[in-house]
Chain A
Amino acid sequence: MKHIKTISNRVLKDTMKNGGCGECCAVGNQSCKNN
């Protein structure tokens, strides 16, 4: 694209499929394998 550079093309909605497993205060930098 000429006018837009995408830094993250994250689609959080996709994590509803495999998310919520519960295996995950010194969220934004937390790490989460199917997801």
Chain B
Amino acid sequence: MIHQYKNNGYNIVLDVNSGSVHVVDDLVYDIIALYEDHTIDEIVVELEEKYSERDMREAYGEISELKEAGQLFTEDVYEPYIDSFKDRPTVVKALCLHIAHDCNLACKYCFAEEGEYHGRRALMSYEVGKKALDFLIANSGSRRNLEVDFFGGEPTMNFEVVKQLVAYGRSQEEAHNKKFRFTLTTNGILLNDEIMEFANKEMSNVVLSIDGRKEINDLMRPTRNDHGSSYDIIMPKFKKLAEMRNQNNYYVRGTFTHNNLDFSKDVLHLADEGFEQISVEPVVAQPTDSYAIREEDIPVLCEQYDLLAKELVKRKKAGNGFNFFHFMIDLTGGPCVAKRLSGCGSGCEYLAVTPWGDFYPCHQFVGNEEFLMGNVDEGIVRTDIRDMFKNCNVYSKEKCKNCFAKFYCSGGCAANSYNFHGNINDAYDVGCKLQQKRIECAIMIKAALAENE
């Protein structure tokens, strides 16, 4: 399967099944579109008004050479392989600990309903968290690296327990030959020197929630009880923390909505404020929500991604670039095909844990009792849910089979699919279109930066 497109003056050809990427001239671009259904003689006739026969035969030869080398027009041979891969025993690699189902902001788009997850306010106790870590150690097989996300709600509202659980995890590493990677996601309101120092010592990654420009951020992320602008409270703290981490191993992470379709300005605002690791992502909301991304917004958003990609190339070439999470792509390394096609791991390798110790497939499913899988005392009780998620991959989704993005997207988000289609083996269509655009931009950026090599 070939995906060819033009972006920012580059003719790009992606050989989907091998992962090879080529930048080509107009001649090759036109021939590749005809290559599979036409002989060279037919192509010469078809394109004789645009190109010389000599050039066409030469270009055709180059294409054939790459086809022979397995870098163009390769076949999809992976479906039987993935079938055998998914029969392997499951190990749990990661937990998302819902340390607090409570929040000191009242963000309008929060899927957790202002931090409370469709239920009661609650804080996780040390005892529940300890049992969760014990479960992870016991169910992780021979895997050494274990991930634990401190999530919420707002985890800093229960920070003593965070510290206790990190200490407990560290105390278990040597005896079990494990290494914990802890991460923290915070809205920044309660950040202080003590929390920052702790995060810099113990957290492999820190996610700092901010939407961009002040008026955009404060519109969707208001404080409770009129405590003023959340932007004014968090921005100086986030800048300080990013510098303390040497601009590595963190993200400032925002959400854009129908209210700021010009979201590239928010990304560039964050970059201009000095942040070098940035993610600003489309809201996922029901169509009835006033701020939801709509089908008719897609062309505008695609233009925004193009604008952002061009600006990023310009800044990278000038030496003042930044990383944009959704444009980061590894074309030469990256994971194996088994990982690429089997998805994010939710429901089998990754579980969310509520403050009272219940297991759900991921943080997006928390509160939906249909997806309650077990708890820290009994382990996984609903193995049928685990198996459903384990069998969810690119080949279980009709929409993904012929999509050029499948090796970079892995079939999209199960929660989004469920929320829009009622089952996890579909795909959220608006999300797909934006993901495809982001991958096209990410590859273009690689091509543009390769010019200097």
Contacts and interface: CB of A to CB of B under 8 A. Distances in A.
Interface of A: 1-13, 15-16, 18-32, 35
B394 to A, nearest CB: 11
B4 interface: no
A10 B19 contact: yes
Contact of A4 (B17, B28, B408, B442): B28
Given A26-B281, A27-B344, A27-B410, A7 B22 contact: yes
A23 to B, nearest CB: 6
B253 A26 contact: yes
A24 B74 contact: no
Interface in B408-453: 408-410, 413, 439, 442-443, 446-447, 450
Given A10-B331, A16-B337, A28-B328, A3 B27 contact: yes
Contacts of A26: 207, 251, 253, 279, 281, 325
A19 B338 contact: yes
B330 A28 contact: yes
A13 B18 contact: yes
Given A7-B21, A31-B330, 5 more contacts: A3-B25, A4-B63, A5-B23, A26-B251, A28-B439
A22 to B, nearest CB: 6
Interface of B: 17-25, 27-28, 58-59, 62-63, 65-66, 69-71, 74, 77-78, 81, 85, 88, 91, 93, 143-145, 207, 251, 253, 279, 281, 325, 328-340, 343-344, 349, 407-410, 413, 439, 442-443, 446-447, 450
A23 B143 contact: yes
Given A3-B27, A11-B70, A22-B143, A29 B328 contact: yes
Contacts of A8: 19-21, 331-332, 446
Contacts, number: 146
Contacts of B336: 12, 15-16, 18-21, 32, 35
A13 B77 contact: yes
B247 to A, nearest CB: 15
B124 to A, nearest CB: 21
A11 B71 contact: yes
A7 B450 contact: yes
Contacts of B71: 6, 9, 11
Nearest to A6: B22
B240 to A, nearest CB: 20
B337 A3 contact: no
16 contacts: A3-B59, A8-B19, A8-B331, A15-B335, A16-B78, A18-B336, A19-B338, A21-B336, A22-B88, A23-B145, A27-B334, A27-B339, A28-B334, A29-B325, A30-B339, A32-B339
Contacts of B443: 7
A20 to B, nearest CB: 4
